[in-house]
Chains A and B, each alone.
Chain A
Amino acid sequence: MGIKIIKREGQSFKDRIYLPAIFSGMWVTLKHFLRNLSDTSNIKTLCYPEEQPIDITSRYRGVHLLTKRDDGSVRCVACFMCATACPAECIFIEAKEREDGVDEKMPEIFTIDLLECVFCGGCVEACPCDAIRMDSGIFSFVAQKREDFLLTKDKLLSHESMKGTIC
């Protein structure tokens, strides 16, 4: 008559004396213990500073980099799209005229403040020339002073892309 009787688990005598369940649980933990004790290479722990992670893909948003043209000059045309898109307002660009005829503009100063950056990837999305990327794979950045967290243009150009050369 519409009444659904749900069978309660854990009411049998075996369940109510607890001990069989406790012993089976202890058997599980003992198996883990013995497996790891007999061969510690079974443990997947990464001993970090000595071992670096190998599973960082090119889609990982690490520290930024500025890409280069085939002739090694900066690809950025100082259009300020990234600085405009940046929600943390951590990109500081000063443009100058490009003299070598490859393009019209290039950045004089291109600085990213890593302490302000939220690593959202907005600048990469906004860039029309594929000039700024975050696929350097650098996940750890440390410094002694606040000023050292300001990444200059030279520093950004020196980071290598994980995808290799840009098409």
Chain B
Amino acid sequence: MNMISISIVIINVILALLFSLGAAPILVWIERRVAGFIQDRLGPNRCHIGGIRLGGLIQSFADMLKLVFKEDFQSSSIKQGFLFSLAPVLVFGSAFLTFMVMPFADDLKIGEQVFMMQGLPIDLGILWFLAFAGLSVYGIMLGGWASNNKYSLLGAIRAGAQVISYEAAMGLSLVSILITYGSIHLGDMVAYQGTLLFGFIPAWGIFLQPLAAIIFIVTAFAEANRTPFDIAEGESEIVGGFHTEYSAMRFGLFFVGEYVAMSASSALIVTLFFGGYHLPYLNTGVLKSNMPLVLSFIVIALPLVSYLFAKWIGKNNHWKEEGNIRNRESKILIQGILVINVGIIFLLGIFLREGLGEDGVNIATAVIQIATFAIKLLLMNFVFVWVRWTLPRFRYDQLQDLGWKVLMPLAIANILVTATIVVVMGV
């Protein structure tokens, strides 16, 4: 273990934390603002620190602070105090651990050493995800039962019913994907998706396995307990479902766990079906050999995008009252964007002038791929939010119908077709 390997491991852990735990406040913010915009209203936009609102992002941190300092109330009717406390930890922990095998970038080669760019350097891939994703429902059922409350128990029962309805279809849809890629390691799958199909389409999972993609995305919504399959929570029917009795940070763990699970599901969807960290037509090899070209493209594109963003800020980010401290924000943000632009372009200019060397090219590739992965992850999370504010909730017998009578036969048929094609083509 030398300095480089230690720092790479630390960076990987920090990235995994950022993408899962750090994403939670951002996702809450996205959820509330997108919900507002979809319903033609504003959403939270008042909370500020010294006039800086970041479009309402500060509200998420204020909410977190509130949850931390609230009274952690436990009803005297709860007999199983330990299980009651254990439940949110299980939900949060398992959601958090599922994220650990998502590859953020291709294997990074520095000198002679090769590093896997994921939270934990293990190649269990999909098996790890399925194991921990399946575990999270125990937290929900345990919490619902230990609450000693009929609504919580109903929520827990619904959670159990939901799991048996979607998990079979989910596992079977993954089998056809495993047959296609021939590996359970997510890094191998993403590497496979860097190639071209018929020479002109990126071989992304969504083009190779459209049916499996649809089935998996539908079941991933159920797995993350998101609308239209949030029947375990069912706040319009059974108060709060499994978390009716929870308050303060124990509720906060459930809440954050839901968003981390959503982020992990999005990461897996992106990894399996949308090319993971690959830009279309630019797999790792192409990216490395054309690094100066890519960097010059960033030098040109970054100011353009920043200009459009700054124009959007100037047009839309203002406070109606004159002389309010919040009116300073647009100016500060635009200056910040300018500084970041100048810094990045200066840095890239030095790289372009001096050349990067082999290790430098590898690191730059990893950085670009991490950024690509982050953007794809954010877009997929947006889809989760977007669907939530479009679709109503399924009834839980409808979900069972869907899972057992529609999705599972389709998944089995998909396995047969995939296996036949793989055997006949001999690939």
List, in ascending order, chain B residues with CB within 8 A of A30's CB: 386
Tell me the interface secondary structure of chain B in the complex.
loop
Partner of A45, one of B41, B214, B390: B41
In the assembled complex, which residues on chain B have CB atoms less than 8 Å from the CB atom of A26? 386-387, 390
Interface stretch, picked from A32-40, A86-94, A99-107, is A32-40
Say yes or no: A43-B40 contact (C-beta < 8 A), given A25-B390, A25-B391, A26-B387.
Answer: yes
Interface-central residue, B38, B320, B389, by most chain A CB under 10 Å:
B38
Complex contact A50–B321 (CB within 8 A): yes
Would B38 and A40 count as touching, CB distance under 8 A?
Answer: no
A7-51 residues with Cβ-Cβ distance < 8 A to B are 19, 22, 25-26, 28-30, 32-33, 36-45, 47, 50-51
Q: Which residues of B contact A36 (CB under 8 A)?
A: 37-38, 40
Do the beta carbons of B320 and A33 come within 8 Å of each other? no
Nearest CB in chain B: distance from A21 CB, A? 10
| A33: contacting residue among B38, B312, B319, CB under 8 A | B38
Interface residue? B39 (CB, 8 A): yes
Contact B34 A50 (CB under 8 A): no
A29 touches B320 (CB 8 A): no
**Could you tell me the distance in whole angstroms from the C-beta of B409 to the nearest C-beta in chain A?**
13
Cβ–Cβ contact B41 & A33, under 8 A = no
Q: Which residue from A22, A29, A39, A41 sits with its C-beta under 8 Å from B389?
A: A29
Contacts of B319 on A, CB cut-off 8 Å?
50
Contacts of B42 in A (CB 8 A): 40, 43, 45, 47
B213: shortest Cβ distance to chain A, in Å?
Answer: 12
A26-B386, A40-B316, A50-B321 known; A32+B41 contact, CB < 8 A: no
Closest to B228 in A: A22
Q: A29 and B40 in contact (CB under 8 A), knowing A22-B391, A40-B316? A: no
Residue from A30, A40, A41 with most neighbouring chain B CB atoms (10 Å): A40
B70 at interface (Cβ–Cβ under 8 A)?
no
For B390, what are the chain A residues with a Cβ–Cβ distance below 8 Å? 22, 25-26, 28-29
Interface centre among B37, B39, B315 (most CB of A within 10 A): B37
Known: A40-B316, A43-B42, A45-B42. A32 touches B387 (CB 8 A): no
Does B387 lie within 8 Å of A33, measured CB to CB? no
Are B40 and A39 in contact (CB-based, < 8 A)?
no
With A25-B391, A40-B316, A45-B42 given, is the CB distance from A32 to B321 under 8 Å? no
- In the assembled complex, the CB of B32 is this many whole angstroms from the nearest CB of chain A, namely 13
- Give the CA-CA distance A44 to B36 in the complex, in Å: 12
Known contacts A50-B320, A50-B321; A43 and B386 CB within 8 A of each other: no
The answer to whether B39 touches A47, judged by C-beta atoms less than 8 angstroms apart, is: no
Inter-chain contacts of A51 with B (CB < 8 A): 320
Asked whether A44 lies within 8 Å of B40 as measured between CB atoms, the reply is yes
Residues of A within 8 A of B316 (CB): 39-41
**In the assembly, what is the distance between CA of A40 and CA of B316, in Å?**
6
Q: How far is the CA of A43 from the CA of B324 in the complex (A)?
A: 21
Q: Which of A40-65 contact B (CB under 8 A)?
A: 40-45, 47, 50-51
A45 to B324, alpha carbons, bound, how many Å? 19
Minimum C-beta distance from B389 to chain A (A):
6
Q: Distance in Å from the Cβ of B235 to the closest Cβ of chain A?
A: 20
Chain B residue with the shortest CB-CB distance to A49: B321
CB within 8 Å for A33 and B386 given contacts A39-B315, A40-B316, A44-B40: yes
Q: CB distance A43 to B214 under 8 Å?
A: no
Verify B386–A32 contact, CB threshold 8 A: no
Query: For B387, what are the chain A residues with a Cβ–Cβ distance below 8 Å?
Result: 26
* Cβ B321 vs Cβ A37 within 8 A: no
With A43-B42, A45-B42, A50-B319 as contacts: A37 and B391 at CB distance below 8 Å = no
Instruction: Compute how far the CA of A147 lies from the CA of B199 in the bound complex, rounded to whole angstroms.
Output: 82
Residue of A nearest to B321 (CB): A50
B214 pairs with A19, CB closer than 8 A: yes
Closest Cβ of chain A: how far from B55's Cβ, in Å? 10
A-B CB proximity, top 9 nearest: A36-B37, A50-B321, A40-B316, A29-B390, A50-B320, A45-B42, A29-B38, A33-B37, A25-B390
B interface residues (Cβ-Cβ under 8 A, vs A) = 34, 37-42, 214, 312, 315-316, 319-321, 324, 386-387, 389-391
Query: Which A residues contact B (CB, under 8 angstroms)?
Result: 19, 22, 25-26, 28-30, 32-33, 36-45, 47, 50-51
Can you spell out 20 A-B residue pairs with CB atoms less than 8 angstroms apart?
A: A22-B391, A25-B391, A26-B386, A28-B390, A29-B38, A29-B390, A30-B386, A32-B39, A32-B40, A33-B386, A36-B38, A36-B40, A40-B316, A41-B316, A43-B37, A43-B42, A45-B42, A50-B320, A50-B324, A51-B320
